[in-house]
Amino acid sequence: MPLMNHADFLRPRPDEPVLVHAASGPVLPIVCDSPHSGTAYPADFGHCLPMELLRRGEDTHVAALWDQWPAHGATLIEATFPRTYIDPNRAETDLDPEQIDGAWPGPLSPGIKTRQGLGLIWQRISRNGVATPLYERRRSVAQIEHRIAGYWRPYHAALAQAIDASVQRFGRVWHLNLHSMPNDVYQRLGRTDAPPLADFVLGDRDGTSCAPEFIRLIGDTLAGFGYSVAYNEPYKGVELIGRIGRPQQGRHSLQIEIRRPVYMDEDTREPNAGFEPLRAHLRELMAVVAAHVRQSIAN
């Protein structure tokens, strides 16, 4: 697959649910994925919200911020669909029977995210502590199955294929799950006691999904650029890194959250003056990570 240029990352692709950007240089066992930066809103979405509110669910521009990964030997995977349509960072069974019109044909295991209205199929969007429903009526079994089969599964299949290819070839893999977070995270979580939100939140599910020196390398590099960095607070990582991270087996997985106002205007969704400086720092970070992985596989 040819390397895509910067403009390709910003173009909605309703025709393909997932884009795989293969390494353009010598291949390293690094797989990165941006599950929430998609902006191609499917015509059958059926939401009842204004777009400016709905788009608050997006990790807008995250794939573009990290678009140099392939030049550093990594595979970069991005969803083109919005996470409010169906969320790749949730289990396929994270659904509430109450949100479905009809009897679901398989097992369901609604978790805390579903109780918050933020499960596999989101039910509400929050702004300034006010939650607004996404839909006027429940989604049908067929509508939800269409989203799982047409979007969720292709995304997971592409990611699994890239992870497996790295493990087969190198015996190991380093996976980075890339996100951004709204400035009002603590308010959304109902927390009033919280410290200021850090510029970067790194999550390894409390030290279980990757080697400690790997997450520290990334955190220390970012702190060296002048950003504030927090670990597992308030985000530890959810479905994707929980599935992939098995550090004892050489499978390292971590989540990186960037505070959105560092690079974009949260109301217009447009990049702000911080976008290019951040992108330049991330390019340096990618080189640091690539060097670390190159050295690890040489030993």
Least distance from Zn ion to the Cβ atom of residue 34, Å: 8
- Residues 174-203, one symbol each (x = binds Zn ion by CB under 5 A, - = not), give -----x------------------------
Cis peptide preceding 17, ω within 30 of 0: no
Region 53-72 residues binding Zn ion, contact defined as CB under 5 A? 59
CB closer to Zn ion, 209 vs 296: 209
For Cα atoms 247, 251, 254, give the angle at the middle one, nearest 5 degrees. Answer: 80
CB closer to Zn ion, 179 vs 252: 179
- The site that binds Zn ion (CB under 5 A) totals a number of residues, namely 3
Tokens read off for 39 = 């902006």
Q: Is 220 helix (H, G, I), strand (E, B) or coil?
A: helix
Is there binding between residue 36 and Zn ion (CB under 5 A)?
yes
Least distance from Zn ion to the Cβ atom of residue 78, Å: 12
- Residues 135-174, one symbol each (x = binds Zn ion by CB under 5 A, - = not), give ----------------------------------------
How far is it, in rounded angstroms, from Cα 292 to Cα 95? 39
Least distance from Zn ion to the Cβ atom of residue 259, Å: 12
Least distance from Zn ion to the Cβ atom of residue 136, Å: 26
Strands (E), 23-128: 30-34, 75-79, 100-101, 124-127
Least distance from Zn ion to the Cβ atom of residue 202, Å: 14
Least distance from Zn ion to the Cβ atom of residue 286, Å: 19
Least distance from Zn ion to the Cβ atom of residue 101, Å: 28
Would you tell me the crossing angle of helices 275-298 and 212-224 to the nearest 10 degrees?
Answer: 150
Is beta strand 75-79 parallel, antiparallel or unpaired with respect to 30-34?
parallel
Least distance from Zn ion to the Cβ atom of residue 59, Å: 4
For Cα atoms 90, 91, 96, give the angle at the middle one, nearest 5 degrees. Answer: 90
Is beta strand 124-127 parallel, antiparallel or unpaired with respect to 130-133?
antiparallel
Is there binding between residue 113 and Zn ion (CB under 5 A)?
no
Is beta strand 139-140 parallel, antiparallel or unpaired with respect to 200-203?
unpaired
Q: Which residue is nearest to Zn ion (CB)?
A: 179
Strands (E), the chain: 18-21, 30-34, 75-79, 100-101, 124-127, 130-133, 139-140, 173-181, 200-203, 229-231, 251-259
Say which DSSP state 264 is in.
Answer: B
Tell me the window of 33-41, 105-113, 154-162, 195-203 that interacts with Zn ion (CB under 5 A): 33-41
CB closer to Zn ion, 59 vs 94: 59
CB closer to Zn ion, 33 vs 59: 59
Tell me the window of 35-43, 68-76, 160-168, 215-223 that interacts with Zn ion (CB under 5 A): 35-43
Tell me the window of 8-16, 30-38, 103-111, 248-256 that interacts with Zn ion (CB under 5 A): 30-38
Binding site for Zn ion (CB under 5 A): 36, 59, 179
